[in-house]
Amino acid sequence: MTAPQTLYQKIWASHVVATANPSEDRLLYVDRHLVYEVTSPQAFEGLRQAGRAVRRPELTLAVADHNVPTENRARGIDSIEDPQSRLQVETLERNARENGVRYVPLNSPRQGIVHVVGPELGLTLPGTVIVCGDSHTSTHGAFGALAFGIGTSEVEHVLATQTVIQRPSRNMLVRVTGMLGAGVTAKDVVLAIIGHLGAGGGVGHVIEYAGPVIEALDMAGRMTICNMTIEAGARAGLIAPDETTFAYLARTPLAPKGDEFEAAAAWWRSLRSDPNARYDRIVEIDGSAIEPMVTWGTSPDAVTTIGGAVPNPADEPDADRRAQIERMIAYMDLRPGQKLAGLPIDMVFIGSCTNSRIEDLRAAAGVIQGRHVAPHVRALVVPGSGMVKAQAEAEGLDHLFLSAGFEWRDAGCSMCLGLNPDRLSPGQRCASTSNRNFEGRQGPGGRTHLLSPAMAAAAALAGCLTDSRTLVP
Amino acid sequence: MTPFTTFEAVAAAVPLANIDTDMLVPARFLKTISREGLAEALFYNLRTADPDFALNRAPWTQAGILVALDNFGCGSSREHAPWALLDFGIRCVIAPSFADIFQQNCFKNGILPITLAPEPVAALMALATDPATAHMRVSLLNQTIAAGDTLATFHTDPECRKRLLGGLDDIALSLRYADDIAAHEQQAHINQPWIRAIPGNIA
């Protein structure tokens, strides 16, 4: 009898290419390779210089998302005014064309953030291995796929070999028990987990999420959780596929259909950790106790509840940690002990691969209730894909946002990292549904507070950080 | 890839934890389609905001080694971070821990990430802050760091060490297993036939 296996071990075992390699390293077969404009040009160039071909272009999907403007999309590539950004997108188009890689053009209704587009198309399937030159590839783990970010050299390796050199990670189980309170979302859960583990707490691990709170989440919520796994240092998050997963997949265009779907689902049902499977670490979080969360510092683990306050560095015994807290408080222009609720903000960003799906936009729109964005606040809503945008418009969400004073944009990564024209000015404070609050992440000198879509919408309306639960009946 | 055997240089101390890749290379420098020319981007925001930042001051303007705190290289997977280090002349980073993707990216680019316990890192950090003692000699052959009278030993994963010492090309090594990859593809197609080619008319 084989030893009990975790979900991670099962996917790993089914993707190891048998080789004579004597080291611990393994070639792990890649089922889906996602590429975008920023981290792929040097990889394609490397292939060209070495005279190598793309081994499986038909398993490779290219989408431009990081650089793309979120206005005037109908103009396609002509909407990109920055010549460097335009060159990157043109280079992606050329590399896709020359190598037979599947490409979603800028003016396609399918274009969007690659981690939104892949699942939407049904390319993200349970039990597959998915890589992309982007750390938020962890998103796809929500489907029980082993998905992780890689560097550009590894992108080149995958293009050439359809494999990635890996060795087994340690395996952590994070079980979220209980039931979330009203107005508490997946974003709050993952911020609470990151706060608990620390920004480096998951280094070297793949994290599997389980427990009643995770099981009760829809796919959008599960993607939010797996997406931010990297902010705890773990490369991949995993959630065992279940009926929620299968119902989502059944609605996607490229998932198997009919009898083949049933055959696939039978296989997918086996993709769960065996009873008594061994983990290197098990963490339990009481989901019932989680409150709406907001970050105060410049690391995603610098987080507290909306009722909480900025910590006092004087209370920190470790000198390095104390210096780090002081540095974060200074950068964020806060005071020790300052309450977060009531902190005035200048910008709101609702979007990113963390929180730009239709469920996220509904949650944000649900807070509006006839109110208007505060006069001193600019608020951007950036759908994760053209399909999300179309769905939102079919539901009338665009009118809700626009009449409340939000800007309604085209799909892309946008102000999550400010590689396109959407970015903060120095000193601006932003309530953002994105994933990183690093110094200058959303623009040089910008200050980011990470929170959920409902909390971001509430901040836009109130003009300051506020508990969204007080705005919803 | 340039092999890494022994390397002598001035070490610079950047006593921060969670140095993320946005700090190492801010997003606006990611619009390049080349691996070259990113030295200017390295720590751009910190270097422009703080004239006293280590890499702004002699002798650390010539630094080839960095000493930092926990979780170095966290955040984005951008390989522009090690490319910028290389372009600046930095070929070795010493810290108590590294983010996984960044660490891999270093090995792929001939940069040696050395993981040491917090105490020896603190000792090397102190040496690196004084121009008189900041010069260090790193030997991957012996797995030692020599700084004045101080000698620290470190451990590097044997496979990564072999590849760095030889400056080996990962892709060429992996392509030797092309037949094994093809065999895996055949079997996987039998086991999970629903993992199909992405249609050409996807958009």
**Min distance B177 CA to chain A CA atoms (Å):** 7
Q: Are A449 and A430 in contact (CB under 8 A)?
A: yes
Question: Rounded mean pLDDT of A421-428?
Answer: 96
Per-residue confidence (pLDDT) for residue B81, from 0 to 100? 98
| CB A341 within 8 Å of CB A305 | no
The confidence score (pLDDT) of residue B203 equals: 72
| Strands (DSSP E) found in A2-101 | 16-17, 26-29, 32-35, 60-63
pLDDT digits over A168-198, tens only?
999 999 999 999 999 999 999 999 999 999 9
Q: Is B155 exposed, middle or buried (0-12, 13-18, 19+ CB in 10 A)?
A: exposed
pLDDT tens-digit map of A100-141: 999 999 999 999 999 999 999 999 999 999 999 999 999 999
Query: Nearest C-alpha of chain A: how many angstroms from B127?
Result: 17
Q: What is the mean pLDDT of residues A61-71?
A: 96
The mean per-residue pLDDT over the stretch A262-282 comes to: 97
pLDDT at position A371, please?
Answer: 98
pLDDT tens per residue across span A294-317:
999 999 999 999 999 999 999 999
The minimal CB distance from B101 to the residues A128, A135, A440 is found for A135
Contacts with A153 from chain B: Cβ below 8 Å? 79, 105, 108-109, 170
| A424 pLDDT above the threshold of 70 | yes
Q: Note whether A356 and A380 are within 8 A (CB).
A: no
pLDDT at B201: 84
pLDDT at B68 over 70: yes
Q: What backbone phi and psi angles, to 5 degrees, belong to A449?
A: -115, 120
| CB pair distance less than 8 Å for A199 and B15 | no
Residue B10: helix, strand or coil by DSSP? strand
pLDDT at A159: 98
Euclidean distance between CA atoms B95 and A259, whole angstroms = 53
In the 8-state DSSP scheme, what is residue A26? E
* pLDDT bracket for residue B202 (50, 70, 90): confident
Question: Is B66 a residue whose pLDDT tops 70?
Answer: yes
**What's the gap in Å between the CA of B110 and the closest CA on chain A?**
12
Q: Tell me the sheet residues that pair with A448.
A: A430
Most A CBs within 10 A among B44, B76, B176, hence the mutation to make, goes to: B76
Measured CA to CA in angstroms, residue A167 lies from A16, A206, A273, A344 at distances of 10, 12, 20, 47
Q: What residues of B are in contact with residue A127 (Cβ under 8 Å)? A: 192
CA B5 – CA B138 distance, rounded (Å)? 8
Pairwise CB contact (< 8 Å): B171 & A157: yes
Q: For the residues A445-459, what does the mean pLDDT come to?
A: 98
For residues A252 and A120, give the distance between their C-alpha atoms in angstroms, rounded to a whole number: 6
Are the CB atoms for A287 and A211 separated by under 8 Å? yes
Please give, rounded to a whole number of angstroms, the shortest distance from the CA of A104 to a CA of chain B.
5
- Cross-strand bridge partners of residue A33: A60, A131
Residue of B nearest to A420 (CA): B28
For B27, the closest of A19, A103, A417 (CB atoms) is A417
Using the predicted structure, report yes or no on whether residue A472 has a pLDDT greater than 90.
no
CA dihedral A297, A298, A301, A303 (to 10 degrees): 30
Instruction: Note whether A23 and B170 are within 8 A (CB).
Output: no
A70-80, pLDDT tens digit by residue?
999 999 999 99
The closest alpha carbon to A381, from A342, A422, A420, A421, belongs to A422
Closest residue in chain B to residue A47, using alpha carbons only:
B171
* Integer Rg of chain A from CA: 22
Question: Cβ(A301)–Cβ(A232) under 8 Å?
Answer: yes
> What is the average per-residue pLDDT within B83-90?
98
Q: Are B180 and A19 an interchain contact pair (Cβ–Cβ within 8 Å)?
A: yes
Residue A1: per-residue pLDDT? 58
CB of A191 within 8 A of CB of A154? no
Mean of the per-residue pLDDT values for chain A? 97
pLDDT (0 to 100) of residue A18: 79
Model ipTM value? 0.96
Are A263 and B194 a contacting pair, CB within 8 Å?
yes
Q: How far apart are CA A231 and CA A406, in angstroms?
A: 28
For A33-60, write each residue's pLDDT tens digit.
999 999 999 999 999 999 999 999 999 9
Which residues contact residue A120 at a Cβ distance below 8 angstroms, ignoring those fewer than 6 apart? A110, A112, A252, A385, A387, A388
| A7-27: pLDDT as tens digits | 999 999 999 997 777 788 999
Spell out which residues of chain B touch residue A55, defining contact as CB-CB under 8 Å: 181
CA angle centred on A331, ends A327 and A333, rounded to 5°: 115
- What's the DSSP call for residue A272? S
